Every structure is written in structure tokens, then in C-alpha cells.
Amino acid sequence: MRLTILLPLGVSLLFGCATTEPLATYFMLTGSGATAKPAKPPRPAAAVRVYVRRVEVPAYLNRTNLASFNGDQIRYSPTGLWALSLDQTISLGIASNLNRLGISAAGFQPAFSVPAHTYDVAVHITHFEGHESGDVLLSGTWQVLGPGGGVVASKSVTIRRAGWTFGNDAQLVASLSSAITELSDQIARALR
């Protein structure tokens, strides 16, 4: 009698405790999209031409979770996370793309000092997320600042990518990476 009561209870406990939460996936922005080119060999650190400053992001994006909008509500992915803070992730993504395009660049990294450079790139992001409609949106402004701090070039941008499946974190990051590649191409044209 005791065994018939304890056995089902033990099995229930075993299976109840065996369930696991999905593991987190950490993402970085990568050069992607039709305009991406193979990386050129890196130049020595002393030859940095452009420094991409810490990117300004709105408070709702200042976290490690990927963000998307479902109607007027923001959804933070429980498992899709940025590997670094978003301000650093975007800065390093732009710098990587500029290097790929043959412009020696370094991005914001809080643990390292700013290298000697000629130009600064300042980026202010207002939107960097997916929407339930399937659109992925990057909007904001960028400026290239010359040696004296004067504005050499600036632009307001809105870049949309369609076809994202709501909740697909890898697809969202691929679309955001493509948008950052397009933004980097704009900055590179201003630096040429």
C-alpha cells in the first residue's frame, strides 16, 4: 500500500523537477546584409582614424535583453541577450563595419583608454527593436566630428527591415545587424 502511494508521488516529483528553463543565447552585432564585404587586414592600433563614441540609447533599451514591441507594450526576450551592454555593442559593431570597409576604427570599450584618432563618430539611437508587424526598426542620428570637434557630417536615419518573425531572436539580431551595416555604410561615405 505504501509503495503504491510513494511510487507515483516520487515519479511526479522526479518529472516535475526535471523540467528546465531554456538557456540564454548571447548575441553580438555582425557585418551582414548585401553591402557587407570581407574584412580587410587590421591596421596597427596607432593608425586608428575613427573613434566611435559610446552610443546613446533610450532607457527602455539600456538593458541586456533584446527588445520588441507587441502593440504598445514592450517585450524583453527572456533568453535573447546582448553579450555586452547595447551602447557598447552598437559602437563596436559600427567600428567593425568601418574596419571591414577599409577605414581604421575603434569602438567604445569602458576598460580601455580612447586611442589617438582623427575623427569621432557620435550616434544617438531612438529605436532599435522589432515590432509585431514583422518590421525591425533602427532610427536615430549620427555625426562625424573633425579634429577640432566641429561637425563634418550628420544625418537623421530611419532604417526598416521587414520579414521578422515575432519572437525569433536570431532573426531579430540578423535584421538589426543588417541595419547597423547600412548605418555604417552611410558613415563611411561621409568619411571618404
Task: Delimit the domains of the chain by residue range.
Answer: 2-29+44-191
The answer to whether 180 touches 101, Cβ cutoff 8 Å, is no
pTM of the model: 0.83
The pLDDT of residue 32: 57
Residue with the three cell numbers 580601455:
112
Domain 2-29+44-191: state its class. alpha beta
Closest CA relative to residue 118, chosen from 35, 46, 59, 183: 46
Low-confidence ranges of the chain (pLDDT < 50): 33-46
Residue 56 in grid coordinates: 546613446
Please write the tens of the pLDDT for every residue from 31-68. Answer: 654 444 444 444 444 489 999 999 999 999 999 999 99
